[in-house]
Amino acid sequence: MALLSTLLSSAMRLFAFALAGILLCLPTASLAGAEPLLVTVVQSENTGAYAEFSAALRESLPNGNVVLTVVNSGQPLPPKSSLIIAVGMKAASELGGDNAHAVLNVMIPRSGHKKLLHDFPKRENSHLFSSIYLDQPVERQLSLIAAAFPDRRNLGVLYAAPAPDEIGELKLKAAEFGFSLYADEISANVTLFQEVQELLKHSDVFLSLPSPTIFNSSTLRNILVSTYQAEVPLVGFSASFVKAGAMCAVFSSPAHIATQTSAAIQRFADSGTLPSAQYPKFFEVAVNERVAQSLNIKIQGAEELQKKMNSPRRRAP
């Protein structure tokens, strides 16, 4: 059985690859004639971060060989689009099944990319379907913590079942950075508040992994105040989280993603393929100086921390 299914899936993959190759011939051929590449941005919404992304992308594309059209999710695609940039999960979910187009999903979480592949299995291993995530790689977060709190070694995280991929990666990487990891799966029998109290007993820095069950606007107050009172810095996952009271975070703005998208478009124009799904290349650090000051925790400024993170220097375990 197992052998048969492996064979079948290999055959399907081969078929998909062949199909993709045929489909590719057309745009590649037209590119050779220096025809401009028609790129359509499909925004999940025409507001806030989505619109910010589209504006930044338009600015970052060199003039000439790319024609950019921006539409909103649900609107018809302009004819002859060679590449679709789906901004956000709503747009990505709508376009994932559209096998006629190459699709680059941007500003989606990594778990969102996984879900898309699950929902649209034909897209797996395709060079015409890729994503640029919005969330940050575990290694980068560890590197921020190491730079910001060189004296803290007990790292705590909470997660809800099923364990996100980050947990496995954290378990692998934490020691490399000299951290001992306390990773606790929240349980239905204990209140979240108690889970946080328990974590604070074992940790001197608390890394938040995105989870609507754990971090939402009704739980955030207790989590932030508890960590503040325990004098344990909380590492957030967005600029807004830092503003709310987390000590620091590494995050990528729509403009950062747009710069990376622009490079992917260039690559597509040159080679007809999309780079493999990837984390954001560009990022910045946010620091809540008031929280640091109030807790008397010496933390460097955002720029200094970013510089320190960029110069790779791991701690001895």
Partner 1 sequence: MSRPSNLRLQLALLTACILAYSNANMAEELAITEQYLLQEFPVVLSASRLSQPLNEAPNAMTVIDRDMIKASGFRTIADLFRLVPGMYVSYFTGNKPIVSYHGTTDDSARRMQVLVDGRAVHMPPMAAVAWEDLPLQIGDIERIEVIRGPAAASYGGNSTQGVINIITRDAGAVLGLQASATEGNGGILDASASFGKRGELIDFRVSMGYRSDYGYDPNYKNSTVGNDTLNNDSHLTHLLNLRANYHPNAQDSVDVQFGYTDSTQGDGSNKDFDPNIPHDNKHNENFGQLTWAHSLGGGDELKLQYYHIYQDVLNTLPPNPTFGLPALSDSYTNTRDDIELQHTLQTSPDNRLVWGASMRHDWTSTTSRFLNDQSQDQTTLFAHDEWRMTPKWLLNIGAMQENSGLGQTNLSPRAALVYKLQERQSLRLGVSKAYRNPSLYEERGNYHFPVIGTLYQSTGSLRPESVLSQEIGYLGEFYEQGFSIDARIYHDQVKDVIYETADSPKNFANLFDAEHKGLEITTKHQWGNRNTLTFNYTYQVLSSDFVAGSSPYTDTMPRNLISALYSKTFADEVMLSLGYYQQDSVLPIDRPTTDRQPFTTRWDMRIAKGFKTGSDGAQGEIALVVQGLLGEHYIDYLIENQFNQRVFVTATFRQ
- Residues at the contact surface with partner 1, assessed by CB under 8 A: 44, 48-49, 88-90, 107-109, 111-112, 114-115, 134-135, 160-162, 164, 191, 193, 197, 210-213, 217-218, 220-222, 224-226, 228-229, 237-238, 240-241, 243-245, 288-291, 293-294, 296, 298, 300-301, 303-304
- Tally of CB atoms within 10 A around 277: 18
Pick between residue 35 and residue 195 the one whose CB is nearest to partner 1: 195
Pick between residue 15 and residue 193 the one whose CB is nearest to partner 1: 193
Pick between residue 61 and residue 134 the one whose CB is nearest to partner 1: 134
Q: How far apart are CB 20 and partner 1 at their closest, in Å?
A: 27
Pick between residue 18 and residue 225 the one whose CB is nearest to partner 1: 225
Strand order, beta sheet including 129-133: 66-72, 37-43, 83-87, 102-108, 129-133
Pick between residue 49 and residue 181 the one whose CB is nearest to partner 1: 49
Q: How far apart are CB 292 and partner 1 at their closest, in Å?
A: 8
Pick between residue 77 and residue 192 the one whose CB is nearest to partner 1: 192
Q: How far apart are CB 303 and partner 1 at their closest, in Å?
A: 6
> Which segments of the chain does DSSP mark as H helices, in order?
2-32, 48-60, 89-95, 110-119, 138-148, 165-173, 192-202, 220-229, 239-244, 254-271, 289-294, 302-310
**Which residue in 137, 104, 118, 116 sits closest to 275, CA to CA?**
104
Q: How far apart are CB 167 and partner 1 at their closest, in Å?
A: 12
Q: How far apart are CB 294 and partner 1 at their closest, in Å?
A: 4
Q: How far apart are CA 95 and CA 105, in angstroms?
A: 9
Question: Per-residue b/e over 237-248, b at no fewer than 16 CB within 10 Å?
Answer: bbeebbebbbbb
Q: How far apart are CB 140 and partner 1 at their closest, in Å?
A: 15
Cα of 294 vs its chain's centroid, Å: 31
